Amino acid sequence: MKITIDIDCTPQEARAFLGLPHVEPMQAALVAQMQERLTQYLDAIEPDALMSAWLPGGIKGLAELQQQFWQQMTQMQDPGRKKKG
């Protein structure tokens, strides 16, 4: 035997019937807070700000990073080579 029951109600009515909490105000507050944080983050993203965050030392820091990278690569190619230092 198979019984089918169709209930026509809104999600709010279903939550009230099942005794679940009313979470819409909390969801609205969280969405508003997330929107504010995202707006602040997007306002802070400017090319100059990004470059200073990614490369605190500027171009000099990038050059040092590249130099370290190449040193590591050459040491991997020649394992018998001693480090300078």
**pLDDT by residue (tens digit) across 30-45?**
999 999 998 888 777 7
pTM for the full model? 0.40
Q: Is residue 50 a contact partner of residue 57, using CB atoms and an 8 Å limit?
A: no
- Give per-residue pLDDT as tens, 46-69: 777 777 777 666 667 778 888 888
pLDDT tens digits for range 19-30: 998 888 999 999
Report the pLDDT value the prediction gives residue 65, as an integer from 0 to 100.
80
Cα–Cα distance between 54 and 49 in angstroms, integer? 9
In this prediction, residue 2 carries a pLDDT of: 94
Residue 82: band (very low, low, confident or very high) from pLDDT cuts 50, 70, 90: low
What tokens does 71 get? 């040193």
**Burial (CB count within 10 angstroms: exposed 0-12, middle 13-18, buried 19+), residue 15:** middle
Q: Which residues contact 75 (CB under 8 A, 6 or more apart)?
A: 81, 83
The tokens describing 85, both together, are 């230092």
Q: Are the beta carbons of 83 and 75 closer than 8 angstroms?
A: yes
